[in-house]
Amino acid sequence: MEELLRFEHVSFAYEDGAEQRLALKDCSVSIGAGERVAVLGSNGAGKSTFFLLSNGVLCPKEGTVFFHGEPVGRKKQELNRLRRGVGLVFQDPDVQILGGTVEEEISFGPMNLGLSREEVRRRVDGAVERMHLEDLRQRAPQYLSGGEKKRVSIADALAMEPELLLMDEPAASLDPENCRILEETLDMLGEQGLALAVATHDVDFAWRWAQRILVFQHGCLAADRTPEEIFSDTALLDTCHLAQPMLFRAARAMGIRPLPRTMEDFEQAVSGRHREQGGERI
Amino acid sequence: MIVAVLAGFVMFSLCVGTLPTAAAAALCVLVGGILLAFGHHSHGGVLVIDVYARRSRYFAWSPALKTACCVLLLLLCVASASPWVPLVLALILALLTVCGGGIHLHDYLALLSLPAAFLLLSGLALLWDYAPAADGAVAIPFWNGWLVVTAAAQVRARLVMARALGAVSCLYFLSLSTTMPEILSVLRRAHVPSVMTELAVLIYRYLFVLLSVYQSMKDAAASRLGYSGFARSIRTTGSVYGNLLATSFRRSGACFDAMESRCYDGEIRFLEREKPVTLPAALLFGGLLAGTVACMMIGGA
C-alpha cells in the first residue's frame, strides 16, 4: 500500500490571546492509499485540528507533515500541493459554500488550480454526477436543505480530485435518510479507490465501515489500531469516553466468531446457528 | 400606510395650481389609495428580491446585456431635461417587470415602497419652502411667515422626482431579473477592481448566513421571553447584536479556512454558465434605448 500522508511528531497550538493551549501533541501517524479510517474522540480532542493540519490550512508548530513521502513546508506552493491532494469537507456546509449556484460553488476549487475551462467543466460535471446533484445544478445553495448542502460540500472537495478525502463529522445534523445516503456515498467513494478519513461520534458507524480507527484524546493520538482491537480494549474506551458498538457487544455476548460488521452478517450468523441447533435436536 | 399618506400629500403639492384643485385632490387620493391597497411591507426584503430574480422570465437573458442597458437607461434618465421621459420609461419598465417578467404587481409595489419613502421625503423638502411673504400655489401661515409651494419649486421637484423614479425602476428591472452573483460577474468582466467585486460576493453570501444566525438567535431569545416588555426587548436586542458580532468573527475565521482548503489564492473565480445575447432581448433593449434617446432629442430641439 502506497503511503499518502504522514505526520511525524506534529504539534500545534492555537493562539487565543496570551494563553496557548496545545491542540495537538506529538502526533505521528500515516494514512495509505485507499484506506478507510474512522477518527474518534470527544469534542475538543483534536480531530478537527488534525484535519486542518492534514489539509494544509494550518501549519504545524513542531514536526513535519509528509505528502507522498515529501515534506510539506510553509510555502504557498507546497501547501497547495497538499490542499489539492487532500480534500476536506467541513462539518458545517454553510462555512464552505460560497457560489451563487451549485455549479459555480463546485467550480471554485478547480478554478483556483488554474485549470482550463474545459477541464474545470469536466471536473464539475464529474463531481455533480458522483454526488447526484443533476437536478440542483442551477439552484442557489442558500436555499437547499441540510442534506443537499452536505452533498454539495462533498462535491466541492471531490471536484479537486483528491487522493484522500477528510470529512469532519459528516453525519452531524443529518436525518436518518440522509445519513443512509451519506454512507452509500462513502462506500461508493471507497470502492473507487479514494482514501477516506471520517471524524465521527457514531461508534456503530465506525465499527461497520472502518478498516482502521484513530482515537484522539486531549490533543494526543491515544490509539491507532483495527476496530476489533480498539473496541476490545475496555480501559481505552473508558478513558476516552467511548462506548462499544451495539453489534460488537451483542455478537460477543452470543459468542459469534468472526465478529459481524453489519446487521446482515449478524442475522446470517444467528440464523445459521439456529439451523445447526435445530439439526442437532432432530 | 405612512408612505401612502406621504405620497398623496406630495402628489397634491406637486399638482396644485397647475391642475384644478379638485383634479389634484383626486390624483392625491388615487395615488395614496393604490399604495395603501398594494404597498404593505414585505418581510426580508433582500431575500425576496433574490427569489424573484430567479423566478423572472428575463432570468435566462444575457446578464451583461441587461446590466449594460439598464445602466445606460439610468444615465439617460438622470440626464433628461424633461420629467416626461423618465416617467414614461419608469412606467414601461414597471410594465415589463410585472407583465413580462412575471412579478406580481402587489410584490412590485411593495418593493417600490421602500425607496419611495426616501424619494417622497426629499420631494417634500424640495417642494415646501419657508418665506416671509405668501406667494405661491399654496401658502400656509407659519411662525411669522408662510410655508409656501412656489411654481418654480414644483417644476424642480417634478424633474428630480421623475428622474429618481426612472432610475429606481431601471435598477429594479435589473435586480428583479438578474441575481447578484451574475451582476457581480459582469462587473468583474468589465474590469471593476476585484477588491470591490470580491467584497460584494462575500457580503452577498454571508448576508444569508448572518440572517439565518440572527433569526435563530432571535427565536431562541423570544422562546425564553426575551421580548416581553419594552425595556427587556431593547436589552435582548442589544445582546443579540453583540453575540452576532462575536459569532461573525468566529465564522469568518472558519469560512476563510474553508476557502484556504480549496487553494484560495486571493481571487474568487467561478465557472460561469454562458447566457448568450438573444434576439428578443437585443430588440427590446435596442428599442428602449433608441426610443429614449429620440424622445430626449425631440424634447431638446
* pLDDT given at position A215: 94
Q: Quick one: CA torsion of B6, B9, B15, B17, rounded to 10 degrees?
A: -150
How many interchain CB pairs under 8 A, A with B? 86
What confidence category does residue B40 fall into, taking pLDDT thresholds of 50, 70 and 90?
Answer: low
A237 phi and psi angles, rounded to 5 deg: -60, -40
* pLDDT given at position A17: 60
* Chain B residues touching A55 at Cβ < 8 A: 261
Contact check, Cβ <8 Å, A100/B179: yes
Give residue limits of the domains in chain A.
Answer: 3-244, 254-282
What confidence category does residue A32 fall into, taking pLDDT thresholds of 50, 70 and 90?
Answer: very high
What confidence category does residue B43 fall into, taking pLDDT thresholds of 50, 70 and 90?
Answer: low
| Closest by Cβ to B257, choosing from A57, A76, A117 | A57
A→B contacts (Cβ < 8 Å), by residue, are: 52, 55-57, 76, 80, 83-84, 87-88, 90, 92, 94-101, 103-105, 107-113, 117, 120-121, 124, 138, 140, 142, 156-157, 160
* pLDDT given at position A18: 55
Does pLDDT of B46 surpass 70? no
Read off the pLDDT of each residue in A269-281 and give the average, rounded to a whole number. 76
B→A contacts (Cβ < 8 Å), by residue, are: 50, 54, 179-182, 201, 204-205, 208-209, 212, 251, 254-255, 257-265, 268-273
Contact check, Cβ <8 Å, B179/A113: no
Task: Report which secondary-structure segment, H or E, holds A253.
Answer: helix A246-254
Contact check, Cβ <8 Å, B54/A80: no
Contact check, Cβ <8 Å, A76/B269: no
CB distance A141 to A97 below 8 Å: yes
- For A95-116, how does the pLDDT look when each residue is reduced to its tens digit (9 = 90+)? 888 888 899 899 999 998 888 9
Distances (CA, A) of B165 to A111, B171, B238: 41, 10, 36
- For B81-94, how does the pLDDT look when each residue is reduced to its tens digit (9 = 90+)? 888 888 888 888 88
* pLDDT given at position A87: 92
Report the share of chain A in percent with pLDDT over 70.
Answer: 96
| Closest by Cβ to B269, choosing from A57, A111, A121 | A111
Q: Which residue of B has its CA nearest to A101?
A: B181
- For B103-113, how does the pLDDT look when each residue is reduced to its tens digit (9 = 90+)? 888 888 888 88
Query: For B14-23, B169-178, B222-231, which range has the lowest pLDDT when averaged over its residues?
Result: B14-23
Read off the pLDDT of each residue in A249-254 and give the average, rounded to a whole number. 92
Strand ranges across the sheet with A220-225: A86-89, A164-168, A195-199, A36-40, A212-217, A220-225
* pLDDT given at position B292: 82
* Chain B residues touching A56 at Cβ < 8 A: 260-261
* pLDDT given at position B211: 84
Q: Which residue of A has its CA nearest to B211?
A: A142
Buried b vs exposed e over B163-181: b needs ≥16 C-beta within 10 Å? bbbbbbbbbbbbbbbbbbb
From first CA to last CA, the distance across chain A in angstroms is 50
Report the C-alpha gap between A108 and A105 in whole angstroms.
Answer: 6
| Closest by Cβ to A104, choosing from B208, B265, B271 | B271
* Chain A residues touching B205 at Cβ < 8 A: 97-98, 142
The DSSP secondary-structure symbol of B19 reads: B
* Chain A residues touching B209 at Cβ < 8 A: 94
CB distance A132 to B292 below 8 Å: no
* pLDDT given at position B275: 79
Does pLDDT of A166 surpass 90? yes
Does pLDDT of B273 surpass 80? no
Read off the pLDDT of each residue in B197-201 and give the average, rounded to a whole number. 85
**B280: number of Cβ within 10 Å:** 9
Q: What architecture is domain A3-244? A: 3-Layer(aba) Sandwich (3.40)
* pLDDT given at position A51: 94
User: What amino acid occupies position B219?
Assistant: D
* Chain B residues touching A95 at Cβ < 8 A: 251, 254-255, 257-258
| Closest by Cβ to B262, choosing from A120, A121, A156 | A156
Report the share of chain A in percent with pLDDT over 90.
Answer: 58
Q: State the smallest CA–CA distance between residue A200 and chain B in angstroms.
A: 19
- For B125-163, how does the pLDDT look when each residue is reduced to its tens digit (9 = 90+)? 888 888 777 777 777 777 788 888 888 888 888 889 899
Mean pLDDT of chain B: 83
* pLDDT given at position A155: 93
What confidence category does residue A63 fall into, taking pLDDT thresholds of 50, 70 and 90?
Answer: very high
Report the share of chain B in percent with pLDDT over 90.
Answer: 6
Does pLDDT of A247 surpass 60? yes
* pLDDT given at position A186: 92
Does pLDDT of B251 surpass 90? no
Read off the pLDDT of each residue in A181-201 and give the average, rounded to a whole number. 92
